[in-house]
Structure 1
Amino acid sequence: METLSKLALKAAEANPEKVAVKDRERSITYGELKSRTLALSHYLNQCGIAKGDRVAVLMKNRLEHIELDVALAHGGIVKVPLNYRLHPKELDYQVRDAGVSLVIGEPDLLETLSDDLPLLLVGEPYEQAIGDHMGASFFEEVDEDDLFAIMYTSGTTGNPKGVMLSHRNMISGALSLAQVCEVDYDDIVGHVAPLTHGSNFLSHVSWLYGLTQVVYDKFEAEHFLDRLAADQVSIIFMVPTIVNLMIQDASFDAEKLRNVKSINMAGSPIAAAKLQEALDKAGTIFVETYGQVEAPMCITMMPRNELSRRLESCGRVGPFVDMKIVDDSSAEVKNGEVGEIICKGSLVMQGYWNNEKATNDTLKDGWLHTGDLGWRDDQGYLHIVDRKKDVIISGGVNIYPREVEEVLNKHDGVKETCVIGVEDEKWGESVVAYVVPNGRREVSEGDLVALCKEHLASFKKPKEIYIVDALPKSSYGKILKRELKAMHAGVKS
């Protein structure tokens, strides 16, 4: 039975002198990674933390994120990654819901938590813990179906849910990503998106190949490409928001991406027009994956050599899932018909932590009901339509916001858009669009109305269009429609 711990140790034994992880300040070899993580595992055991106990990690992108994945895996301890941008009350909820035994993190971030939690501060206390236990080790018998992590959803409705992911889930995701990103033994993996989320799934690919990982603490469009080029990064995960910022920045220089083989885009949809712009400027270096925390990254995969021909698809089903498109009665629909995307397989979560009802509502007969709507073409390629809960019903007719957004994004002066449904006395709901200009060309409401008339049926056209400076987003770059709706309601009241 393979686990992330075993894979990491194999990589260390094969490449002891090779750099395993580096960030802006430090660098450790695979040999050092092995000795440090074994020392950490022994320290945690001496603290009374046993297999199945939860340890939370609260820090920005830094080397310790990667190191702790391995150390916790040695002892069968469950990692609870915390998003440092969350409100302290949100963090407290997740820590208490998961029942964590220890929180490891940066001092200034740990100060925001309740003061009755056991803490280990990165920096001197963390290094002291390693130093005091250097040369010692602790292993626990861990099975691939044992929990590796509890990752909390973004909590778009109510409290976030803790997604239970096993070693099998993580390794299935890593193997899938290795395939679609065309990973080789000489690649260098970069991390600029948060290691509490999507980029962490890509990090596990490194244990399969013994790759070097480079951790960046922040994204700055003006300087980031210089750092990528200097570090010779060849594979990196980016959410579409970061891709957009990179491509549309005035200083963008495709030559600085000369070492990059594949940029894995995931986390949220990207408009076909913006994707085409990225391909035109940067070349054939993008791969697209579709997944959820509940089925990490690779429900479907679109390799780079196919992406330019299928801009509106997110690829075909990945190797570790089965997928169906079903109607409201869970009956499979025909190709070309819209339904809910469901999947099952070794990529799919074990369930939601401490939430049997949500688990039963989402996992039915082993099938994960994603809440996403889509259709499959005759070649097996998936086309995402929208979130089921975001469909606008106007006059009894379904309108998919993404279809309207795709049209608005055709305008050369548009950076990004968001379409929502708002209450309408006559029609039930009406279509409202928010648009952010990119500054390269003037954007007027009249231009956008004309564009919609050219491409959309009359009932789909926005009733109102607002041109704004920015859209509300989560720390992972996803547009928060619930906040936009609340903002709109406040404007109209």
Structure 2
Amino acid sequence: METLGSIAKKTCRQFSAQTAVAEGERCFTYAELRDRSFRLAKALHDKGLKKGDRVAILMSNRIEHVELDIAIALAGLVKVPLNYRLHAKEHEYILEHSGASLLIGEEHLMQNVAGPLPRVTVGGAYESWLAASESAEPDTAVDEDDLYAIMYTSGTTGRPKGVMLSHRNFISGALSLAMACNLTHDDVIGHVAPLTHGSNFLAQCALLLGLKQVVFNKFEPEQFLEAIETERITTVFLVPTMVNLMIHDKSFARRDLRSLRTINMAGAPMAAEKVKLALELLGPKIVETYGQVEAPMTITVMPRHELQHRPASCGAAGSFVELRIVDDEGSEVPAGQVGEIVCRGSLVMQGYWNNPEATAETLKDGWLHTGDLGWVDEAGYLHIVDRKKDVIISGGANIYPREVEEVLNLHPAVKETCVFGVPDEKWGETVCAHVVLRDGQAVEEQELIELCKSHLASFKKPQRIHIVDSLPKSTYGKILRKEIREAYGRNA
């Protein structure tokens, strides 16, 4: 039996003299990380927290994330990572819903969060707290199926739901990701995406293999490109928006990025044409993965050597998951036919915290119903079509926004797009698109409509295209289609 704590203990012992994690001028070896994690676990218990209690974390990318992961695992506690970009009211809801017993974070982020919940501020108070604690190995009995984290969904369709993930879920995700990225003991992990979510699984990979991690407080393309060169970073997690910003940054061409071997790209789909451009500029460094909070990171994996041949696919089933495409009755459909993506395996969540109705709706006979639509080819590679709720039904025919977006992205002037349905008295819905152009580019809306007509059935082409300055995005870089649709309705 392994847990995240037992793995971390062995790694810290085996690689004790090696650098574990660095952030600016701060740097800890694995021996120092072990000492700090033991002290932190003891300090948490001394505050009266017992096995199963929830500890909320509210901070931007900092070195403390890594030691908190270990300490919480060792102490048998449950972490509740908070997206620091959310509104204070959203934080308050998550803290109340999760029943958190303690909040650890940065003062400027916590000060707007109301409530009597005890809190510890990273920096002076946190360091004093650790220094006063004993560096002794916790004796809490922890099992691989014990709850380790409650990670909240984005809440773009209502109140966020608390996804319950066990030690087994996290270890499966980390092992699968490590294999997908072909990680070795020589890799250096760079954390520039939030350590509360996607990049955290690379942090778990680092603890599996004894790798060095370099933490960056925020993503600024030019500074990050420089850091890749100076820190000799080999592996990063990036969402497609970050990849686009990086390759189009004015400093990109002059940077030595030879150390960068793997970009794990996930979090949102990327148009095939944009994938081709990224590969042209970066080389075969992108490992694309598809997952959800409910089955993190590696429902499917697209290896670096395959992506150039299948830029419209997000890969085949990962190492610890079984994948199917099913119809509305739950029956598996043949290859090439669109249906809902479902999966099961050790990646899949235990359920939603304090939400049995949503759990029953999403987990059926052991299968996670993702709400995503897609199809698999004869070789088993998955092609995501769209979210089930985003399908446009026009005149009784299904139109998938993503297939229209793929065509719009063929135009060299187009930077990014969002296609959605708008009410129509005759057809029920018609297709509308918002398009952002590259800097200095111009294109007539009719030209884009004609482009769609040349690639798609006529009923799928947008009836209206609006050139806009930007598209609203979630804090994780996902385009908020629902928000655009609602704003369009208000302004129509």
Alpha-carbon distance in structure 2 between the residues aligned to 1:371 and 1:272: 22
**Alignment map for 1:242-257 (pairs within 5 Å):** 242-253=242-253, 255-257=255-257
| Paired residue type of 1:244 | N
- Residue 153 (structure 1) aligned with residue 153 (structure 2): yes
Partner of 1:214: 214
Secondary structure in 1 aligned to 2:483?
helix
Secondary structure in 1 aligned to 2:184?
coil
Partner of 1:198: 198
Partner of 1:278: 278
1:298-346, Cα deviation, whole Å (9 max, x unpaired) = 0110010111000011111011011110000000000000000000000
Secondary structure in 2 aligned to 1:95?
helix
Secondary structure in 1 aligned to 2:252?
coil
Q: Structure 1 residues 125 and 373, CA, compared in 2 at 3 Å: closer, same or farther?
A: same
| Paired residue type of 1:155 | G
Report the Cα offset of residue 138 of structure 1.
2.2
Alpha-carbon distance in structure 2 between the residues aligned to 1:286 and 1:353: 34
Kindly indicate whether the alpha-carbon contact (under 8 Å) linking 2:407 and 2:455 is maintained by their aligned counterparts in 1: yes
C-alpha RMSD of matched pairs (Å):
1.0
1:213-248, Cα deviation, whole Å (9 max, x unpaired) = 111111112221001111111010000010111112
Alpha-carbon distance in structure 2 between the residues aligned to 1:447 and 1:217: 42
**Alignment map for 1:89-488 (pairs within 5 Å):** 89-253=89-253, 255-488=255-488
Report the Cα offset of residue 440 of structure 1.
4.9
Alpha-carbon distance in structure 2 between the residues aligned to 1:221 and 1:158: 32
Kindly indicate whether the alpha-carbon contact (under 8 Å) linking 2:291 and 2:299 is maintained by their aligned counterparts in 1: yes
| Paired residue type of 2:394 | S
| Paired residue type of 1:156 | T
Kindly indicate whether the alpha-carbon contact (under 8 Å) linking 1:254 and 1:282 is maintained by their aligned counterparts in 2: no
Alpha-carbon distance in structure 2 between the residues aligned to 1:408 and 1:269: 15
Kindly indicate whether the alpha-carbon contact (under 8 Å) linking 2:226 and 2:255 is maintained by their aligned counterparts in 1: no
Partner of 2:51: 51
Report the Cα offset of residue 66 of structure 1.
1.2
Secondary structure in 2 aligned to 1:477?
coil
Report the Cα offset of residue 379 of structure 1.
0.6
Kindly indicate whether the alpha-carbon contact (under 8 Å) linking 1:254 and 1:281 is maintained by their aligned counterparts in 2: no
Kindly indicate whether the alpha-carbon contact (under 8 Å) linking 2:339 and 2:374 is maintained by their aligned counterparts in 1: yes
1:364-415, Cα deviation, whole Å (9 max, x unpaired) = 0100000000001001111100000000000000000000000001111111
1:92-130, Cα deviation, whole Å (9 max, x unpaired) = 000000000000000011101114110000001100111
| Paired residue type of 1:290 | Y
Count of aligned pairs: 492
Kindly indicate whether the alpha-carbon contact (under 8 Å) linking 1:36 and 1:134 is maintained by their aligned counterparts in 2: no
- Residue 67 (structure 1) aligned with residue 94 (structure 2): no
Secondary structure in 1 aligned to 2:101?
strand
- The structure 1 segments of at least 4 consecutive aligned residues displaced by more than 6 Å after TM superposition are none
- Residue 19 (structure 1) aligned with residue 2 (structure 2): no
Report the Cα offset of residue 255 of structure 1.
4.5
1:150-171, Cα deviation, whole Å (9 max, x unpaired) = 0000012221000000010001
Alpha-carbon distance in structure 2 between the residues aligned to 1:110 and 1:470: 30
Alpha-carbon distance in structure 2 between the residues aligned to 1:352 and 1:185: 36
1:24-64, Cα deviation, whole Å (9 max, x unpaired) = 23111100000000000001101110110000000001101
Alpha-carbon distance in structure 2 between the residues aligned to 1:135 and 1:41: 9
Alpha-carbon distance in structure 2 between the residues aligned to 1:481 and 1:50: 42
Alpha-carbon distance in structure 2 between the residues aligned to 1:485 and 1:405: 15
Kindly indicate whether the alpha-carbon contact (under 8 Å) linking 1:8 and 1:70 is maintained by their aligned counterparts in 2: yes
Alpha-carbon distance in structure 2 between the residues aligned to 1:9 and 1:30: 10
Secondary structure in 1 aligned to 2:420?
strand
Partner of 1:77: 77
Alpha-carbon distance in structure 2 between the residues aligned to 1:329 and 1:5: 41
**Identical amino acids, percent of aligned pairs:** 59
| Paired residue type of 2:158 | G
Alpha-carbon distance in structure 2 between the residues aligned to 1:436 and 1:106: 35
Kindly indicate whether the alpha-carbon contact (under 8 Å) linking 1:288 and 1:301 is maintained by their aligned counterparts in 2: yes
Kindly indicate whether the alpha-carbon contact (under 8 Å) linking 1:234 and 1:259 is maintained by their aligned counterparts in 2: yes
Secondary structure in 1 aligned to 2:297?
strand
Partner of 2:7: 7
If the length of structure 1 is used for normalisation, what is the TM-score? 0.98
Alpha-carbon distance in structure 2 between the residues aligned to 1:257 and 1:431: 41
Kindly indicate whether the alpha-carbon contact (under 8 Å) linking 2:164 and 2:352 is maintained by their aligned counterparts in 1: yes
The unaligned stretches of length 5 or more in structure 1 are none
Kindly indicate whether the alpha-carbon contact (under 8 Å) linking 2:192 and 2:217 is maintained by their aligned counterparts in 1: yes
Secondary structure in 2 aligned to 1:256?
coil
| Paired residue type of 2:347 | L
Alpha-carbon distance in structure 2 between the residues aligned to 1:8 and 1:136: 15
